[in-house]
Copies of this chain bind each other. A is one copy, B any other.
Amino acid sequence: MLHTTANGRQHPRPSHLGRPGRWLRMLAAALLALAVLPLAQAEDGYELWLRYRPLEQAALERYRPALAQLVLPAGNETQRATRDELVRGLGGLLGQAPAVADVPSAAGAVLVGTPASLPRLAQLGLDLDGLGEEGYLIRSLDLDGRAATVVAANTDLGALYGSFHLLRLLQARQPIDALDLRQAPNVKLRVLNHWDDLNRHVERGYSGQSIWDWHRLPDWLDPRYTDYARANASIGINGTVVNNVNANAQILTPMYLDKVQALAGVMRPWGIKVYVSARFSAPMEIGGLATADPMDPAVRAWWRAKADEIYARIPDFGGFLVKANSEGQPGPQDFGRTHADGANMLAEAVAPHGGVVMWRAFVYSDEEPDDRHKQAYTEFVPHDGEFADNVLVQVKNGAIDFQPREPFHPLFGAMPKTPLMMEFQITKEYLGFATHLVYLGPMYEEVLRADTHVAGPGSTVAKVVDGSLHGHALSGIAGVANIGTDRNWSGSHFDQANWYVYGRMAWDPYLDARAIADEWLRMTFTADEAFVEPVLDMMMASHQAVVDYMTPLGLHHLMGRGHHYGPGPWVEGGPRADWTSVYFHRATRQGIGFDRTTSGSDAVSQYAPPVAEAFNDPARVPEEFLLWFHHRPWTSTVASGRTLWDELVHRYSRGVGQVERMQQAWAGLRGHVDAERHHQVERFLAIQRKEAQWWRDASVAYFQTFSGLPLPEGEAPPPHSLEYYKSLEFPHAPGDTQ
């Protein structure tokens, strides 16, 4: 009913509130209106998981006595942000915000702060060691004979994070009467990568334009920027790279730095540092230099001066993200230098200010490689140990490019002297864009829990990324954002879950994907168990579904060219073989799959021996990666006892079937969730169903031309000819590169 504004800001109380007579009349009118008007507010998804709708009565009765008073400082921007969020959140959830007081004076006080900011909290002798600069504790305790709750941290930011945690407990209806929680992030840099161009186009964006209104910055600060910062802070994201890795050097000009500075000012109270993607050739393009050679003193001086200029504007600037010598981007190799040379030059420029360089390992040479899978490893491993202390090498989760499912990237564990950042893609470039319901939690979890075996069993990717395996203090994780100007931010309601799970796993890579989905559902939709359980099942099964209907059994890179929309297993020709589908699936009359065994490209040998041995053996390789590592005969037998061909068709159809089950489950939930979101999800599931069928039919029609085998019993033939599927064109599909 009554609620804060959709953009989450608080407004000064309207002046007419001072006139009780009118006020009461309006209230009376509102009450009358209740009798005939639908109870409605915009359920358009703008509020994300920070909806703060009133809890049901049982929860109110439980929580209200324990949350009767807020004791917290408001002396700086982060403290005020914390206070305002708690007032907004508790006010919404409880129907009434607790009174704010300077000192605890009643039962149910909630103390939020640091020993420095809140003297009463300093007196409690809390053990804040080990919480670091971002951790917090939440504890129920007795304060002068009255029950109280403390949210304590070493920093204001820690207290903010703890406050969001407290709100989350309420949103999930968790008990709060005997709290004893300690949390600190496992990963230091938890950043979003925006592939946003300066003209507001978003590469691989399916949710509208870039939220950065560059043209009107710095003069107009869209309130949405604040809501973006709130949402990120609520899940622990502490950095944002605001422009595309395919970077435009103009971001480094004073005109744009004015704009970046303005954004940094909005982000700062919420603990979010701003980074920019730097174009390696910027000294030539905007600096007037004849070279961008990282060993050239003038180039080094230019970058140092540029860093100084940036830090003079933005003292807490995060640093640079760089895509160099990859897909046509300039880089140190253009000047006969190494990736380490390039990264270290930039690192030198930002080091005096505490900045970092995130150097992407997504590279492949201009010449066609024998196996693109191997290239990042080949290029980077020799330089392990050469990178400056403030450089992280940012590695995609798999060796190809954010495919529906990839084995973990062999670089993880292979560069022990270098902090390796994980780069996940949140936007669903290869996973059905924003219309397909695909929860990425299980995919992230699968990669993070994968065991590299580089230091014996248990050497998981998560331990590489969080620095614990090789003892790095610097650690990071990046997610390619799915955020745009669409009212619901992510293009669909369920894609909000991917932003959410990314942030939660960046904070703690050991979290459970299902548990995160559970909390997200309760915060975003409803705590109604009749809704949560079936939808959890839908979400958890959704990743396997899309793998099945797009790229089963380890197939990969089968999508339409350029825009990556829809099936394109027939894609061939063009500028380079490793941008085609036929390069990757290698289907012949005899069989299908990319032989990466020791007899093939030998990509398997980039993994530690126990992993390499398993991947190398068609009998031991996990079946989901069978055709990733092996070229197998159509008539060979797989675990199910089916032939490979039958299993392939079976999996395509199984994926379609799973979408149908999601449709049925969702249809049964009408009435458990607002009609507005129910309708959109329902329509999007219908699109997903149609497109899953299209993927299945087109792929089966195509691969059947190789296998020459009949469809298994009961499998419907594709309704159109292969030529029909090949003829479809989508020149304006969203998200393509510009």
Give A contacts to B, CB under 8 Å: 1-7, 9-15, 17, 22, 25-27, 29-44, 54, 56-57, 60, 91-92, 95-97, 197-200, 208-209, 214-216, 219-221, 223, 250, 435, 485-487, 671, 674-676, 680, 683-684, 686-687, 690, 730-734
Contact = CB atoms under 8 A, between A and B. Distances in A.
Given A5-B676, A14-B671, A29-B60, 16 more contacts: A2-B30, A2-B37, A2-B39, A3-B40, A3-B41, A4-B40, A11-B40, A11-B674, A22-B57, A29-B54, A30-B95, A36-B96, A208-B485, A215-B733, A216-B687, A219-B686
Contact of A36 (B31, B97, B684): B97
Contacts of A215: 730, 732-734
A675 B223 CA distance: 12
A731 B14 contact: no
23 contacts: A2-B34, A4-B38, A6-B42, A11-B40, A11-B674, A11-B675, A12-B38, A12-B675, A13-B38, A29-B54, A30-B95, A32-B95, A33-B54, A36-B96, A37-B92, A198-B732, A199-B734, A209-B209, A215-B734, A219-B683, A220-B680, A223-B676, A250-B731
Contact of A40 (B5, B25, B676): B5
Contacts of A734: 199-200, 215
A530 B279 CA distance: 53
A220 B40 contact: no
A429 to B, nearest CB: 14
A256 to B, nearest CB: 9
Contact of A209 (B38, B57, B91, B208): B208
A306 to B, nearest CB: 19
A25 to B, nearest CB: 5
B683 A33 contact: no
Contacts of A223: 676
Contacts of A684: 220
Given A1-B26, A214-B732, A687-B220, A95 B33 contact: yes
Contacts of A208: 208-209, 485
How often does this chain occur in the complex, in copies? 2
A381 B40 CA distance: 57
Contact of A687 (B29, B219, B732): B219
B54 A38 contact: no
Main DSSP-derived SS at the A contact region: loop
Nearest to A55: B29
A216 B435 contact: yes
Contacts of A680: 220
Nearest to A29: B95
A266 to B, nearest CB: 14
Contacts of A39: 2, 13-14, 17
Nearest to A35: B96
Given A435-B216, A485-B485, A7 B42 contact: yes
A97 B33 CA distance: 8
User: Nearest 8 A-B pairs (CB), nearest first?
Assistant: A29-B95, A6-B42, A1-B30, A11-B675, A199-B732, A198-B732, A5-B40, A32-B96
Nearest to A96: B32
B687 A7 contact: no
Given A33-B96, A209-B209, A1 B14 contact: no
B96 A4 contact: no
Given A200-B734, A676-B11, A41 B5 contact: yes
Could you say which of A35, A36, A197 has the most chain B C-beta atoms within 10 Å of its C-beta?
A36
A1 B27 contact: yes
Contacts of A17: 39
A95 B5 CA distance: 21
A37 B91 CA distance: 7
Contacts of A435: 216, 220
A1 B1 CA distance: 8
Given A38-B11, A487-B487, A674-B11, A96 B1 contact: no
B44 A26 contact: no
Contacts of A54: 26, 29-30, 33
Contacts of A30: 1-2, 54, 95
Contacts of A732: 197-200, 214-215, 250
A375 to B, nearest CB: 32
Contacts of A686: 219
Contact of A219 (B3, B14, B690): B690
A91 B220 contact: no
A80 to B, nearest CB: 16
A683 B487 CA distance: 22
Contacts of A15: 671
A671 B4 CA distance: 18
Contacts of A216: 435, 687
Nearest to A687: B219
A423 to B, nearest CB: 26
A36 B13 CA distance: 10
Given A1-B27, A250-B731, A91 B57 contact: no
Contacts of A6: 6, 41-42, 44
A6 B45 CA distance: 12
Nearest to A14: B39
A198 B730 CA distance: 11
B40 A42 contact: no
Contacts of A32: 95-96
A49 to B, nearest CB: 18
A671 B92 CA distance: 25
A83 to B, nearest CB: 14
Contacts of A37: 2, 4, 91-92, 96-97
A675 B686 CA distance: 41
A22 B60 CA distance: 12
A731 B256 CA distance: 12
A734 B31 CA distance: 46
A9 B676 CA distance: 9
B676 A33 contact: no
A221 B219 CA distance: 35
Contacts of A38: 4, 10-14
Contacts of A487: 487
Could you say which of A37, A214, A486, A676 has the most chain B C-beta atoms within 10 Å of its C-beta?
A37
